[in-house]
Every structure is written in C-alpha cells, then in structure tokens.
Amino acid sequence: MSCHHYDHPHSRREFLRRAGCGFGAVALAALMRDNILAADAVEAKAPVPQKFPDHVARAKNVIFLFMEGGPSHLDTFDRKPLLNELAGQGLPASFKAPITAMGETKSPLLACKRTWKQHGQSGLWISDWFNRVAEHADDLAILHSCASDGINHAGGVCSMNTGSVFGGRPSLGAWVSYGLGTENQNLPGFVVIKDSEGTVVNGVRNWGSGFMPAVYQGVEFNVEGAPIKHLENPKGVTNERQREKLDLLADFNREYGATRTDNTELEARIRGYELAYRMQAEAPAVVDLSKETEATKQLYGMDHEETAVFGRNCLLARRLVENGVRFVQLYSGAGSKWDSHKNIEPLHSKLCRSVDQPIAGLLSDLKMRGLLDETLVIWGGEFGRTPMSEQGDGRDHNPTGFTMWMAGGGVKGGQIFGATDDLGLYAVEDRLHVHDIHATILNLLGIDHTKLIYSHKGRPERIDQNEGHAYKKIVS
C-alpha cells in the first residue's frame, strides 16, 4: 500500500519544489493566488466556494481607516444648519425619542462650532476639522445614512467589523481574504495597525476569523520593532542557525511524509514553516520606511509630532497594499479615543488634526502612484454622535444615523449619498445598515456578497446574515 518507490530528493529545495505540486490544505490554499485550484485539491472544510471576483472588480485592495470610539458626523461631514438654530432647546417632539448609551435623554441640542465650506468642483460641505481631506472632495463618496445595531462600543465595533454585535463571526477582512485570497504569499492578506498601544474594544477578535479557519484572520503589525509578533528569531539565534533548524525539521518531516503522501495537511505544515521563514525575511522590509523620500514622509505629515504616528501608519498601509496585502485596517484612537461624551471640541480637534493630513497624504500618494483606482479607502467609526449634548459639551453615541466615506476603488467621487434628518439623528434616505455597507464593499471588490458563502454547521453563512444589499448607486 505504502509507496516505497519514493526516492529521496537530494536537497530540501528539490523536495519543496516537488511537494508544491500536490500541495493543498485549507490554510495555505487560501494564501495561494490561485486559490480555486488549491481548494479543489483538498477535501476542504473551508472551501472557497466559487471564483471571485465574480464580476468586474472596481477595487483590488481596501484600506479601512477606523476612527474608533465614534467620530461626530455632525461636526465633520454632515452639515446641519438647523442644529445651530435649535441649539440649547430639547429635541423637537416630532423626533422619536432615541435610547442613548449613557442614559441622558433630555439633554438640549448641542451646536456645531465648526466653520463649514464647500470644496472642490462638487461643492461638498466639509468642516474645517478636515480641511486637508477636503482638498480631495471630488474623490469622496460620502455616505450620510449609515446605521448600526451596536449602541455601545463593544457592540458597535464588533458590528462594524463582523456584522454582528456578538463575537464569533468572521470580520470583513477575513471574508475578503476568504473570497479573494492574497496576492503575496509571504505576507498576510489582512493586516491591522493601531495608532497606539491602546486596546481596541473587544481586542483581537475584531480582526478574527470567527468560525472560519485561522488563516483568514487579520495579523496585527506592530509599528515599532518586529512588525509581527514572534517574527524575530529567538534571542541570540542567528538566521543561519534558524535556517539549520528548519532544514532539519524539513528533513524529519519529509521522511515522515514520504509514506503518507495523501495527507495534504502534512505538506501544508511544512510549507507553513517555510512561509514563516520567508515572512521573517520579507515583512521587515515592507515596513522599513527608510527608503521613502523626505517629501513623501512630509506628505503624510510624518514631520509633525501630532500627525507622525497616523501618517506613518498611512504610509505603511500604502506600502502593504503595494506589496499585495489585500485588506489593511488602520485604527485611529485605539481604545475608544474618539468617544467624546464631554469636551468634544478639544478631544475631536486633536484627533482630527492627527488624521487629517495623513489621510489627505494617503489619498494624494495613492493617486500619484495610480493606486487609488484599485484601492478602496474607507473612513468611519462604529457609529456617529448625537445632536443632543451630553454633560453639557459632549455628544453621546448615535448608531441610528452617521457618516462614512469612501474614495477610490471605483466609487463615484464628489457626491453625497443618503441623508439623515434635519438634526442628523436618524438616517432617513437610503438608509445603509452595516450589512449593506459590507455588501457594498464586497461589491466594489467584485464579489456578489450573496454568493460569498461559508458553510458553518451546515448553514450557508454570509457576511450580512442574509440581510444586506449592495448599494450600487455608489459605483462609478
């Protein structure tokens, strides 16, 4: 039964080349560019169900700029003159009373203190908190009517990432990796970078793969030191020594696998170690910004203290996307720093300043390099904020109507879509639930979200739990 006609390859390299032919197994299959072929070779517990993109993909990559804590749409992109007229009064009786997270229900409306201007040929209204982003007004598709289920941060962040207020479902980036695979086998397909050591609400499961195999999960890149956890050799271990260890391991595994060739998982594990080794070599180079020019760094605001961190992350995002990473998520204000229950003016001022130039720089840079067409840039948080005040000078969470915007990746720039009511409390026109937003993003990536199915416990699971619709008006 067993194949004793196996002849020992003369080198490890030769072996790997051979092994590559029959190579399969879920995890690595997903990392292969030609994922369909690989998935076919395995009795896949996690098949990639069909070939994606299934229609013309407008975007190849995604950079999701996540303002964690809930940025105020009313003071940034959704201008409501009536809010200032009625400031100080209670919410008019014509509005359905909302449930607020903090329980302050009868607080007066809080005026917006921003100066608003129309920008670009399109004349989009944008507040002075985003003056630099406003220079790209004609590239922005602003979605004013976003809505979510999560009223608190845990539910909101989980919902925006996975479509459910519960943990346990795969994140958007995981679905994208599952559907499209990765372009670069030596890097993860889904990378997350935070702007501080703060813990994003719910922690790592925001970029987890839920019920899908771990291979689809987001990998967090550190911005200092080794970009990926455990990427560096153990203390004192040289690359040569690491290589020798891996060679010995491959030797042993080769012998073990020789009479078990039908177990593709064994080969997948061998490849996993090789991939890890290549990742050790490649990942540090990708995050090495020393070859970037000073002009580029300035473009991202890296020369100013307050924009340096997010600027560097935006530049990293561009480099990752250039190197074939499919989905990059950047967190601003990790640890709910955009949350502004009081003192919204100083809190938001500081955060907006920290991201405005970097985001504008990212858009400029992507455009200059011809990458904006194929890269979908998304801006938003887990929810917006209420028109009513909280504790006098803050705003509470508002998941019932808030703004996100998209740029590049085949969206119609210089336009607004959907609307909230006159005070920006509820989405009233073209309401886009998180499920719709996810469906829309997948649609831009060339994926019909109703066909991106993962069979879990016998159930055909979709990102939108069968509830979302892709918003196609946004496609240019």
The crossing angle, in degrees rounded to 10, of helices 264-286 and 12-22 is 110
463 part of the interface to other proteins, by CB under 8 A: no
* Interacting residue with other proteins among 15, 19, 23, 26 (CB under 8 A): 26
Map the footprint of other proteins across residues 87-106, applying CB under 8 A: 99, 101-103
Distance in Å, CB of 339 to other proteins, minimum: 12
Q: Which residue has the tokens 């000073």?
A: 294
Q: What CA–CA distance (Å, rounded) separates 90 from 87?
A: 8
Length of the chain in residues, anyone? Answer: 476
| Token pair recorded at residue 328 | 């990059």
Q: Lay out the site mask for other proteins across 34-73 (x = CB under 8 A, - = otherwise).
A: -----x---xxxxx-xx-----------------------
Q: Give the CA count within 13 Å in the CB-facing half-sphere of 98.
A: 26
Looking at 14, 54, 85, 251, which residue binds other proteins (CB under 8 A)? 251
Output the smallest distance, CB 453 to other proteins, in A.
6
Answer for the pair 407, 363: CB distance below 8 angstroms, yes or no.
yes
What is the closest distance, in whole angstroms, from the C-beta atom of residue 459 to other proteins in the complex? 6
CB 132 within 8 A of CB 174: no
Residue placing its CB nearer to other proteins in the complex, 160 or 377: 160
Instruction: Report, in Å, the least distance between residue 385 CB and other proteins.
Output: 17
Near other proteins by CB under 8 A: residue from 141, 193, 228, 439: 228
Smaller CB separation from other proteins, 157 or 377 = 157
Q: Which of 19, 38, 16, 18 has the alpha carbon at shortest distance from 27?
A: 38
149 — phi, psi (to 5°)? -90, -25
x/- mask, other proteins, residues 255-294, rule CB under 8 A, reads xxx-xxxxx-xx-xxxxxx-xx--xx--------------
Instruction: State the number of binding residues for other proteins (CB under 8 A).
Output: 94
Select from 217-225, 364-372, 388-396, 408-416 the region that touches other proteins (CB under 8 A).
217-225
Residues in 179-208 that interact with other proteins by CB under 8 A: 188, 197, 199, 201-205, 208
The CB-of-417 to other proteins minimum distance in angstroms stands at 25
Shortest distance (Å) from residue 219 CB to other proteins: 6
Beta-carbon contacts of residue 12 (< 8 Å; ≥ 6 apart): 247, 250, 251, 254
Please report, as residue ranges, which positions from 129 to 158 form the binding site for other proteins (by CB under 8 A): 151-155, 158
Identify the CA nearest to 312 among candidates 288, 282, 334, 279.
288
8-state DSSP, 231: -
Give the pair of three-digit tokens for residue 304.
């100013």
One of 135, 232, 374, 393 touching other proteins (CB under 8 A) = 232
What residues contact residue 305 under an 8 Å CB cut-off, 6+ apart? Answer: none
C-beta closer to other proteins: residue 103 or 370: 103
Tell me the one-letter amino acid at 301. G
Residue 266 CA to residue 85 CA, distance in Å, equals 68
428: enclosing H helix or E strand: strand 427-429
Which residues neighbour 26 within 8 Å (Cβ) at sequence distance 6 or greater? 39, 42, 44, 45, 46, 213, 215, 268
Q: Is 249 in the site for other proteins (CB under 8 A)?
A: yes
Pairing of strands 61-67, 116-119: unpaired
Min dist CB 313 to other proteins, Å, is 14
Q: Kindly write out the interface string for residues 426-455 of this chain, putting x where it contacts other proteins by CB under 8 A and - elsewhere.
A: ---------------------------x-x
Select from 13, 55, 229, 473 the one that contacts other proteins (CB under 8 A).
229
Nearest distance from C-beta of residue 373 to other proteins, angstroms: 30
Distance CA 326, CA 322 (A): 9
Cβ closest to other proteins, residue 21 vs residue 115: 21
Stretch that binds other proteins, among 57-65, 174-182, 229-237, 378-386 (CB under 8 A): 229-237
Interface positions, 298-357, toward other proteins (CB under 8 A): 305, 308
